Structure 1
Amino acid sequence: EKDAKAILKKMGAKPVKEKAAKKADDAEKKRDEIIKEFSKIKGIGPSKAEALYEAGFRSILELKLQPIESIARVKGVGKKYANIIKDYLTPSKDEALEEFSKIKGIGPAKTKKLVGAGYRSKLDIQVASERELEKIIGSAASEVKKSLGSVDARGILAKAEAVPPPKIEEPKKNAALRKKIQKILESSGEFLPRSVVDEIIEKIVNTDIPDKKLRELLDKVVGDYNRAMMDPLEACGIIGAQSIGEPGTQMTMRTFHYAGVAEINVTLGLPRLIEIVDARKKPSTPMMTVYLEGGYKVNRDMAKSIANKIEITRLINIAEIDTDLGNMKIIVNPNQKAIERKDISMEDIEKKLKSVRRTKINRASNSIEVLPTDETYRELQRISEELKNIKIKGIDGIKRAIIRKEKGEYVIYTEGSNFEKILAVEGVDKTRTTTNDIYAIYNVLGVEAARNSIIHEAHNTLQEQGLNVDIRHIMLVADTMTADGTVRPIGRQGVSGEKSSVIARAAFEITVNHLLKAAKKGEVDELKGVAENIIVGQPIKLGTGSVELSVDIGKMSKGE
């Protein structure tokens, strides 16, 4: 063995371990170089540079081409640093103008057009197709592409995996079935998303299904999945409108009792759907589902204490208010059972009565006398009316709170809503408590939560009427309503009224007003949308209408 090693050494052969070590060193060296290159980006440190490397980025070019959302999803980077990276890598308008002015074949006018269209670097021009450039700079596009060349962005973008897929930890039986399903799908060249595969596994994992039957099942699922996919440039808007509008004609116009809580009325059916798409500031029957945490959700007395704390209690609800005209005073006689049930003491009532202006308070054992400082009948009547509506306990807006036991825990349903203040109450589970007031959710939790609320409320409203509408169509409505970061109605006060096309706005509602205002301002309709092109009799830029064909007359005349 020693002799063999000596001979190999003389021949210049290196041991396998040494080769592997050198390979590892080279990889480590390359890794350090890339991280060092990323660290040059102003505003990010070595840790962020390392995170970018671990996510699969291997050059500044890849970062330039990657959408900001993908960079933001990298673990340890986030939206803030993604913006810093993009700002650093994207030249300013002035820098772009200077860079483009050096390109052969385009003058100052075309340079400005490129910058105006959003191009900021030579790389942007290299990635763009010649056809795209022709729309901006005309016939000069061909010469520009020849001088700069092209970059295939698809290969670069495919390399960078912003968040590596999570490892699936599951029982061996499930893992074996998943492997079998993936093998069948790969052999037929088909694809199913992980969520669909998970559902198939959940349904059939405990059945001894033969391979032939499994293949037939997967063929059926793949067929259904492909049919559910949208064709490129399909008119999804009109399909979504049809999908929701057609069953909407069968909806009822009544206010129903809330499912499972007969004491609470809630608007359902068509009126509720109109409220949702109109983005009404206040629903006609606001309500909340308040989930509890810890001991509160399993102990009825503790749940009752929260219900008492949030339900608004006025003096008229717990006491008799008598006016003694002869002695010019008002006598408040609290109902002892009512105040015990509501967990209110005489001291609480007395404290609230002291807040009434221009009065003196005398407390007896079971009653409280309220005397006006100005002894007139008018003043006595004013104080009497004020006392009836004085709030002793509770949160504004919560008219009633009802406790129900569901799935082993106590849940509070409220008539009325005050989302922000309810979430601040101790014992309330902030992660599950909901309201049907979409604007309250928007103001407290933001636009993404409001979008989810629109989807949830609209879907539930349709389902309660026995109508099954594809959730994606409802999601499209919610996306349209919240696209600009606020909650906008669909009607003329929102989405429809804010269209850039004059003709589309006029076609929706108040036609004459829109046309007069547009004429006064000298607006020009570019005819880029659907409605306006249909009105003037032009093909729409959707489906087959989106394809543009051109004929080379020169070649036709030559007979080629």
Structure 2
Amino acid sequence: MGSGMDPVDLPIPAVIKPVELWTGKQLFSVLVRPNANVRVYLNLTVTEKSYTSTKTEDGREMEAMCPNDGFVYFRNSVLIAGQLGKATLGNGNKNGLYSVLLRDYKPHAAAACMNRLAKLSAQWIGNHGFSIGISDVQPSGNLREEKEKIIKEGYEKCYGQIKLFNEGQLQLIPGSDAAQSLESGITSVLNNIRDQTGKLCMQKLHWRNSPLIMSQCGSKGSAINISQMVACVGQQSVGGCRAPNGFIDRSLPHFPRGVKTPAAKGFVASSFYSGLSPTEFFFHTMGGREGLVDTAVKTADTGYLSRRLTKVMEDLCVQYDKTVRNASGCILQFCYGDDGMDPAVMEGKDGAPLDLPRLFLKAKATCPAGKNEYVSPDQVSEIVRRRLSEPDMTPEAGCSAGFKTSLEEFLDEYVESFRKKHEIFMFDDDQIPAWKEKIVQNIAGVTSRQLEVFLDTCISRYHSKKIEGGTAIGIIGAQSICEPATQMTLKTFHFAGVASMNITLGVPRIKEILDAVKNIHTPIITAALECDTNEKSARVVAGRIERTSLGQIAESIQIVMTARSASIVITLDMSMIQDAHLSVDANVVKESILQIRGIKLKSENIKVLDVRKLEVFPAETDRNKLYFRLHSLKNMLPSITVRGINTVKRVVINNEKEAKTNHKKYKLFAEGRGLLEVLGTEGVDGCRTTSNDVMEVQRTLGIEAARVCIIEEIKSTMKQHGMNIDCRHMICVGDVMTYMGEVLGLTRFGAKKMEKSVIALASFEQVADHLFNGCVNGRVDAVRGVSECIIMGVPIRVGTGMFNIREGGFSGSGAHDSNVELHYGPG
């Protein structure tokens, strides 16, 4: 693994008799620290892809006891547990092996370790080889039987649902009709078959199986890929649904009409090893074609999106007073990302500056207790309070309140966990023996020296992570959002926990947000409830919000004609009204009818007969037109809104279990617009209610709420696709879109309103128009932005171009002494 000249200290063998033997884990310990002169003490914990948690009887998690050896634990450069895979060695992971070496021991240590591993890997692959043959994807007889059993069980469930549907007894999903509920149920069962066969393959294949090894270590492939090769290709989807009908009432002429069985709607039971039947092959090509088309369309969309975002944000730069300004000097942020930290060097989860648990582990490992006394929990609090009151922890020294709070909270958690461990270990003794106390202190305690080293390390690192003046954060932010957007593959996703509600996600959703579209595809209001633990109260509030028409709650609407009068009698279905928890009777219906403008009815035209019956008399006096008027009234009445908000199509009740209490919490998803009306609905907690429609949020709650909405929507869309982007980039985009006091899309129209210079606008779109308007209006261009400087050949005022260089006390011919100005117009 070295050059041959590097000294290597062999560790003590793991097995001494009958012959000296070393383990692979010891090999990795040598790889990180080959000899005693290498002062690299790596302390690191990472959960690999194969990690599964194991818990003790009292609920404590035993991380290092993972049955798959998926918990990687380095202590002082010794690999104690775990198999190293992509999460530790690759992935660009901020908590991976090389990232930690880079931060703790500078680039040389990381590069040397990388070099040793590369040489070792090449040597091993050269000696042993690693290849895939047809035998690797050949299922055993036992696996084949198990697969057939899983598919048979799945098919029986599907047939059972189809039978219930045909008999009209299928239980409906909220917000869906019988056909949609059937499709949703069958799709769920068939997707589960693929997941089950994937798990089966991972269990049954030999541990030396090459595809299995590749999947487990994270280099390529997944359980589904292996399952498709070995066991079952699974359900093919087109537009997020099963195969559509290409012929009359059937997908292919090979099946009877109206059949909804798995095989007739695109389920491929064969594997790629066994080969697909002709119909299965055809369905597979349908799914494949959609993937190709989607990729081609998405590439063009994200390319153009990337160009627009880059163009609008290219001028943004951190100044030396810590503010973020554009080329014309407008302030967008008083402190970049609200804390002035550099996203590129963040370590912790969710963009936190430091990975505090790892640094605490490192401080305890590299500073042995020795003769130092362990400190009590009360002393910990005192040392922390004293250190955090020093000058380098004041706001003037550039320390944010958030960092102080995170440090205090982390150490409070440590104190709490120490007390718990102390109680668990000491529960059987009244008088604690000294040896027991010593063991607990060694496992969970901390000395004053370790605590001081930890605090000093955290504080010095925090101050080194501040963003420098001149950083072009605009272009960095634009690329940080656009690059992951280019990698997004799927267009839509099911709403979390609600099978019936499809919402726009992926590239189309990112486009909607950044273009500030007025009418988004699927507006959804997430309404929090004042009483969120009771399902009945959730149903009552849902009834107040969801639009209920007269046609939905009426048992009959009939024209009654006698010799003297003609009217329409409406009979309400009271049992259905009670089931839906709607407070509706004949008087409520009367008021609803009177509020409709086009009907021209007065109070005396509507007669309430009893609670469930009312009679409507037309206001028409001309007997010749009476019959026509009656029928037009009868056609109009079913669509009248009796309860709820007109613009809300449907409301779905969602419940989630809380991790701590295990209680169900209810909230409502309202599909449609009407945020103001929802906020004013009795039973809705307005302070926790949100909408995904940025423009409606701006109209209802103002520009600050719209900014937060933009940031949260980008964040949630990226998270759905498993992409973690630093929040500071999203905050930057939110500020660019809202700093003018209105929500501006990142389009040619939005750019025009952002008061950009003539050249900057002309270099984007509609070149001739902008140059012509600039000339006609005699506009002056200060040539300060990035595009203008490049076009005019002037140094850009970003990074090292922000300042001039003084020479011998005089202002030299610096970058901006020749203040270039362009004047448009005659002369």
Would the aligned equivalents of 1:190 and 1:222 in 2 still touch at CA under 8 Å?
Answer: no
Would the aligned equivalents of 2:715 and 2:727 in 1 still touch at CA under 8 Å?
Answer: yes
Would the aligned equivalents of 2:805 and 2:811 in 1 still touch at CA under 8 Å?
Answer: no
> What's 1:319 paired with?
554
1:33-87 per-position Cα deviation (integer Å, ceiling 9, x unaligned): xxxxxxxxxxxxxxxxxxxxxxxxxxxxxxxxxxxxxxxxxxxxxxxxxxxxxxx
1:440 maps to 2:696 = yes
Q: Distance in 2 between matches of 1:508 and 1:461?
A: 27
> What's 2:600 paired with?
357
526, 539, 563: which is aligned to 1:304? 539
- Aligned pairs for 1:534-545 (under 5 A) are 534-545=790-801
Q: Distance in 2 between matches of 1:439 and 1:172?
A: 51
Describe the SS at the equivalent of 1:232: coil
- Aligned pairs for 1:384-423 (under 5 A) are 384-406=634-656, 407=658, 408=663, 409-423=665-679
478, 481, 488: which is aligned to 1:244? 481
C-alpha spacing 1:226/1:491, structure 2 compared with 1 (3 Å): farther
Describe the SS at the equivalent of 1:372: coil
745, 753, 775: which is aligned to 1:519? 775
Q: Distance in 2 between matches of 1:323 and 1:204?
A: 73
1:201 maps to 2:436 = no
Describe the SS at the equivalent of 2:642: strand
Would the aligned equivalents of 2:525 and 2:673 in 1 still touch at CA under 8 Å?
Answer: yes
- Aligned pairs for 1:31-180 (under 5 A) are 172=378, 175-176=381-382, 178-179=384-385
C-alpha spacing 1:500/1:415, structure 2 compared with 1 (3 Å): closer
> What's 1:502 paired with?
758
Question: Shift of the alpha carbon at 1:184?
Answer: 10
350, 354, 372: which is aligned to 2:618? 372
Question: Shift of the alpha carbon at 1:478?
Answer: 1.0
Calculate the aligned-residue CA RMSD, in Å. 3.4
Q: Distance in 2 between matches of 1:320 and 1:346?
A: 12
C-alpha spacing 1:216/1:508, structure 2 compared with 1 (3 Å): farther
Instruction: State the aligned residue count.
Output: 383
Describe the SS at the equivalent of 1:266: strand
C-alpha spacing 1:202/1:329, structure 2 compared with 1 (3 Å): same
Q: Distance in 2 between matches of 1:553 and 1:445?
A: 55
Q: Distance in 1 between matches of 2:760 and 2:811?
A: 41
Provide the identity percentage: 34
Q: Distance in 2 between matches of 1:228 and 1:460?
A: 26
Q: Distance in 2 between matches of 1:284 and 1:554?
A: 61
Question: Shift of the alpha carbon at 1:274?
Answer: 1.7
> What's 2:62 paired with?
none
Q: Distance in 2 between matches of 1:211 and 1:431?
A: 44
TM-score by length of 1: 0.60
1:225-277 per-position Cα deviation (integer Å, ceiling 9, x unaligned): 45643221111110110111111111245232211222222222122222222
1:481-521 per-position Cα deviation (integer Å, ceiling 9, x unaligned): 22133222222222455333111011122222212221222
1:449 maps to 2:705 = yes
Letter matched to residue 699 of structure 2: N
Most deviating of 501-510 and 218-227: 218-227
Q: Distance in 2 between matches of 1:325 and 1:503?
A: 74
In structure 1, runs of 5+ residues without a counterpart are 1-170
408, 424, 430: which is aligned to 2:686? 430
1:339 maps to 2:589 = no
> What's 1:15 paired with?
none
Would the aligned equivalents of 1:329 and 1:369 in 2 still touch at CA under 8 Å?
Answer: yes
Q: Distance in 2 between matches of 1:228 and 1:464?
A: 29
485, 496, 499: which is aligned to 1:259? 496
Most deviating of 252-261 and 241-250: 252-261
Structure with more of its chain in helix, by fraction: 1
C-alpha spacing 1:550/1:469, structure 2 compared with 1 (3 Å): same
Question: Shift of the alpha carbon at 1:537?
Answer: 2.4
Letter matched to residue 540 of structure 1: I
Q: Distance in 2 between matches of 1:271 and 1:554?
A: 55
Letter matched to residue 600 of structure 2: R
1:308-353 per-position Cα deviation (integer Å, ceiling 9, x unaligned): 1111111122225656598875453433332222332133223333
Q: Distance in 2 between matches of 1:177 and 1:255?
A: 52
Q: Distance in 2 between matches of 1:519 and 1:307?
A: 58
Question: Shift of the alpha carbon at 1:527?
Answer: 0.3
Letter matched to residue 447 of structure 1: I
Q: Distance in 2 between matches of 1:321 and 1:519?
A: 70
Describe the SS at the equivalent of 2:748: coil
Q: Distance in 1 between matches of 2:501 and 2:519?
A: 17
C-alpha spacing 1:527/1:199, structure 2 compared with 1 (3 Å): farther
Q: Distance in 2 between matches of 1:554 and 1:301?
A: 79
Most deviating of 428-437 and 369-378: 369-378
Would the aligned equivalents of 1:184 and 1:215 in 2 still touch at CA under 8 Å?
Answer: no
Would the aligned equivalents of 2:559 and 2:630 in 1 still touch at CA under 8 Å?
Answer: no
> What's 2:468 paired with?
231
Letter matched to residue 392 of structure 1: V
Would the aligned equivalents of 1:253 and 1:271 in 2 still touch at CA under 8 Å?
Answer: no
Letter matched to residue 288 of structure 1: I
1:122-146 per-position Cα deviation (integer Å, ceiling 9, x unaligned): xxxxxxxxxxxxxxxxxxxxxxxxx
Would the aligned equivalents of 1:256 and 1:268 in 2 still touch at CA under 8 Å?
Answer: yes
1:424-481 per-position Cα deviation (integer Å, ceiling 9, x unaligned): 2222222211111223332333222222222111111111111111100111111122
Question: Shift of the alpha carbon at 1:220?
Answer: 6.2
> What's 1:546 paired with?
802
Q: Distance in 1 between matches of 2:589 and 2:497?
A: 35
- Aligned pairs for 1:450-469 (under 5 A) are 450-469=706-725
Most deviating of 462-471 and 418-427: 418-427
Letter matched to residue 235 of structure 1: A
Would the aligned equivalents of 1:499 and 1:505 in 2 still touch at CA under 8 Å?
Answer: no
Q: Distance in 2 between matches of 1:426 and 1:463?
A: 32
Would the aligned equivalents of 1:288 and 1:435 in 2 still touch at CA under 8 Å?
Answer: yes
TM-score by length of 2: 0.42
Most deviating of 359-368 and 301-310: 359-368
1:284 maps to 2:530 = no
Q: Distance in 1 between matches of 2:541 and 2:711?
A: 29
Would the aligned equivalents of 1:256 and 1:266 in 2 still touch at CA under 8 Å?
Answer: yes
> What's 1:533 paired with?
789
Q: Distance in 1 between matches of 2:409 and 2:681?
A: 38
Letter matched to residue 677 of structure 2: K
In structure 2, runs of 5+ residues without a counterpart are 1-376, 419-443, 813-827
Question: Shift of the alpha carbon at 1:212?
Answer: 6.0
C-alpha spacing 1:527/1:227, structure 2 compared with 1 (3 Å): same
Describe the SS at the equivalent of 1:415: strand
Would the aligned equivalents of 2:398 and 2:463 in 1 still touch at CA under 8 Å?
Answer: no
Would the aligned equivalents of 2:740 and 2:754 in 1 still touch at CA under 8 Å?
Answer: no
C-alpha spacing 1:178/1:220, structure 2 compared with 1 (3 Å): closer
1:191-242 per-position Cα deviation (integer Å, ceiling 9, x unaligned): 6731442354255444424556556655765576456432211111101101
Would the aligned equivalents of 2:388 and 2:404 in 1 still touch at CA under 8 Å?
Answer: no
> What's 1:92 paired with?
none
